[in-house]
Amino acid sequence: DTEVTQTPKHLVMGMTNKKSLKCEQHMGHRAMYWYKQKAKKPPELMFVYSYEKLSINESVPSRFSPECPNSSLLNLHLHALQPEDSALYLCASSRPGQGAKQPQHFGDGTRLSIL
């Protein structure tokens, strides 16, 4: 069992749909991350939130919209996605700050398929 919970585990959506991915952690971590992972590739960082504020956006298309409503919850809102956006979306959390070099803890991911 992972300490970072992602829902749903699988999602199939059309290109005109709007959906959201959810990530929750109760470890007191104040940094949360979204990654995208294509098959047989490494995870690629999309967004970083630190203390509930967006601190890094890796030039992600605007059809992906992150939200961090509180310190335990991270959402990724999806709209008008393209077939090439089909991938495994991973959420992670960690302690922020220079003194905190602990590893990021990953959720099990949401496998997204765009029809």
Partner 1 sequence: ELKVEQNPLFLSMQEGKNYTIYCNYSTTSDRLYWYRQDPGKSLESLFVLLSNGAVKQEGRLMASLDTKARLSTLHITAAVHDLSATYFCAPGGGATNKLIFGTGTLLAVQP
Buried b / exposed e along 6-18 (16+ C-beta atoms within 10 A):
beeeebebeeeee
Minimum gap (Å) between residue 57 Cβ and partner 1: 12
> Looking at 14-22, 66-74, 77-85, 92-100, which segment touches partner 1 (CB under 8 A)?
92-100
Residue from 34, 68, 81, 94 binding partner 1 (CB under 8 A): 94
CB of 44 vs partner 1, minimal distance in Å:
8
Residues 91 and 23: beta-carbon distance below 8 Å = yes
Which residues sit opposite 65 in a β-bridge? Answer: 77
By three-state DSSP, how is residue 11 classified? strand
Q: Which residues of this protein are in contact with partner 1, per CB under 8 A? A: 2, 31, 40-45, 48, 50, 55-56, 90, 92, 94, 96-98, 100-109
